[in-house]
Amino acid sequence: MRFYLCRSNGTVPLRKSKGDMGEYNAIEVIRKVAGKLKDKKLANLKTVETEIRELGEYLGLNAMQTVLFIAIFDRQCGDSRTDISDISYYFGISTIDVLEHKADIDRLLEMGIIRRADDYAREFTKTNFKVDRLAFDSILDRKPVKISAAPEFAMDRFDFVKAVGNLVENRRSNDMDTDMLLETVSGLEHACSAPAFIEDMKSQIPDLASRVFFYDCCHDFINDRNDNSPTDLNVTLEDIYDRTGKIMSVKRKFAAGTHPLLSAGLLECWADGTDYKLALSDAGRQIFLREDIHLFSSERNLDRYTFVREVESLIDERESRHYPTARLHRKILALEKRAHDLPLVKAVQEKLPDSMDRAIFYAVCRGLTGRKPTADSLVESMFDDERTRIVEKQKFIGGSHVLLKQELVELGSAGFFGGVPLELTETGKELFLGEDFDLFTSGVTDNGFLQPDMIKEKRLFFTPELESQLSFLRDSLREGNYDVLKTRLAGKALPSGVAALFYGDPGTGKTESVYQIAKALGKSVMQVDISEMKTCWYGESQKLVRGVFKRYARACRHSSNVPILFFNEADAIFGRRTENPGQSVDQTENAIQNIILEEMEKLDGIMVATTNLEGNLDPAFERRFLFKVRFERPGADAVAKIWRDKLPDLAESQAKALAEDYDFSGGEIDNIVRKAVMNEVLYGEKPDFERLRTLCSQERISGGAKGRRIGF
């Protein structure tokens, strides 16, 4: 399209010059010129020479630019956007004729009087143009032309990588070769409104084709960040390059780890079967996301729970993407660096110098609120080398793993479908949970601990000798005395814990004495349920027993007044060990006893056990009890006092008669008293002495009078 516009001879004055700020009806001029030139009427060009020159002065354009502007403006009035083919059709000329004046279109874009109407994702011949919004309105309002200060489509770095990604994806369908793709992306780099991002990329990656690769991975990251889909190397190579030889050359560099993007640490590459996958590295995300990196999920604020969930996600990601363990190692370190202020991270780093050991611990911590990992599955997920997997599994099986040795993690019971779960020990829970420990496990609270204010005070009547023994024990355990005692014992290299055994016939006050001592000293009581410690699952009983002592040790650390660990009616677990255990039950009981003996040896607290069968007591247990207190049936005088204490209305002679005639323990006397209360409730009167004797005679199946055989 060639225009032969004559210069003005000065005889035709302009209606309004560009500098004149008065009203100018440019729309009338555009309508007149368009009417002459549109629909193959370029032959009329000379007839509107003056109008074109006049409008050009108003817009600040030369003649060629003015004619192009008129076509775009006219089509926009019809709500149409305009590309190169539209302009050629508008004037009835070839596309090549229009492309001859690309520099004029570029100048219109540079001035801002027209804009690209799309996202820069198209090559020049397919780019749509439109008149700047503010310039369009100025013309309609007959005012001096003003142009928007900023582009209507401000292409930030996110728009930029989207445009590049669309170009790469649609390169073949748009009939673009690799050279044209690179040329177009180079132009987009100049148009991007995030120059710092482009400058950083150019300084680190001078090669334009490599930058295109990175921009496309950024596009995939933005589109697929919710499902963490990686970039497929083969697909991207096909999208960018025309020649097979070039594709293979670049692929070899990625496979060998020598590609500039890998050398700069901006991308990570890993094998996925016969294919390769790509993803932005942490450095790549930083250079792309920059100040917006905190808006993405991987950069949110972390507490102990979200932190271990992030670790779990990293391990799952490594397993699904099959990338090297070394990459997981780097990601764990980066995550810890982000969460360096977390007490959990600081404490674990002090205990475990190896990052992969820490990662295993974090994953087990996650099992407290999520799915519980097994040793096999966790090792398989974290390590890519088969030999390393075998070594790690053997460490867990053999009990030599650092997490087991430091008693942070323990092996649970194998499930029905196999696999040995890894669980936090009490120490591990305390390390992970911190101040939240009591939310997940029983602490020194009413949950599992009998508090002293819940114990009803009772008077107990014993022989002087027994009372003396109990007083000595009670005084030794008073807070001030106990602290001094521990210090003195430790100074002599003697065990500082105090273990006491109360043994004797049933109903003689052993259990109640423990409660009353706790009441008098203001101590809580941690009572062990013996039946819960015997389970059919191999290994579970041992874990429960160790858990009891670990829980008690924690209670001692967190209590200002050391509680009492109480094994009531402990005959079943303090009996003699089987020398040649043949059945699994015998093996389990022996294992339980060995654990208790071991824990008693290092006890740093107060333990009391009661038993009715002291004859079956294993000698190893007897040695470990510092106090061994025998509870015998009370004599007649003590029993008479018990009767009077329980039934104050009894005469002294009546109480003495009941004590002499019936060989009852304190527990049996309690039964008679309960029946007496029931009698009063039912009949409205207290039972008389004869009724009491009748109740006494009914207490035992064999009779209750003295001289008769007791028991079997």
- The pLDDT tens digits for 178-219 are 998 898 888 888 878 888 999 999 999 999 999 999 999 999
3-state secondary structure of 155: coil
Q: Side by side, which strands form the sheet with 498-504?
A: 449-450, 525-528, 564-567, 606-611, 498-504, 627-631
What residue ranges do the domains of the chain occupy?
26-140, 157-293, 301-440, 449-631, 636-697
Question: Rounded distance, CA 376 to CA 389, Å?
Answer: 9
Structure tokens at 654: 């009546």
3-state secondary structure of 705: strand
The answer to whether residue 379 scores a pLDDT higher than 50 is yes
Question: How confident is residue 573, by pLDDT bands cut at 50, 70 and 90?
Answer: confident
Tokens 């930083």 sit on residue: 286
CB atoms within 10 A of CB 703: 15
Tokens 């900023």 sit on residue: 150
Question: Rounded distance, CA 440 to CA 554, Å?
Answer: 14
Query: Where do the H-state alpha helices sit in 447-509?
Result: 464-476, 479-491
- The pLDDT tens digits for 618-628 are 788 888 898 99
Question: Rounded distance, CA 261 to CA 284, Å?
Answer: 9
Question: Rounded distance, CA 563 to CA 551, Å?
Answer: 12
- The pLDDT tens digits for 307-354 are 999 899 889 888 877 778 888 888 888 888 888 889 999 999 999 999
Host H or E run for residue 181? helix 178-191
* Contacts for 536 with CB less than 8 Å, ≥ 6 apart: none
CA-closest candidate to residue 555, choices 442, 478, 444, 424 = 444
The answer to whether residue 156 scores a pLDDT higher than 90 is no
**Phi then psi dihedrals of residue 214, to 5 deg:** -65, -45
* Contacts for 508 with CB less than 8 Å, ≥ 6 apart: 631, 632, 633, 634, 665, 666
Question: How confident is residue 8, by pLDDT bands cut at 50, 70 and 90?
Answer: very low
Mean confidence (pLDDT) of the chain: 82
3-state secondary structure of 526: strand
Name the CATH topology of 26-140.
Arc Repressor Mutant, subunit A (1.10.10)
The answer to whether residue 10 scores a pLDDT higher than 70 is no
| Separation of CA 103 from chain center | 57
Mean pLDDT of 391-417: 82
Q: Which of 37-51, 240-254, 258-272, 383-397 has the lowest mean pLDDT?
A: 37-51
Q: Are 471 and 383 in contact (CB under 8 A)?
A: no
The pLDDT of residue 586 is 62
pTM score > 0.75 for this model?
Answer: no
CB atoms within 10 A of CB 253: 16
Question: How confident is residue 421, by pLDDT bands cut at 50, 70 and 90?
Answer: confident
Question: Rounded distance, CA 373 to CA 681, Å?
Answer: 59
**Phi then psi dihedrals of residue 605, to 5 deg:** -175, -150
The answer to whether residue 444 scores a pLDDT higher than 70 is no
Stronger pLDDT, 476 or 479, i.e. the higher one: 476
Name the CATH topology of 449-631.
Rossmann fold (3.40.50)
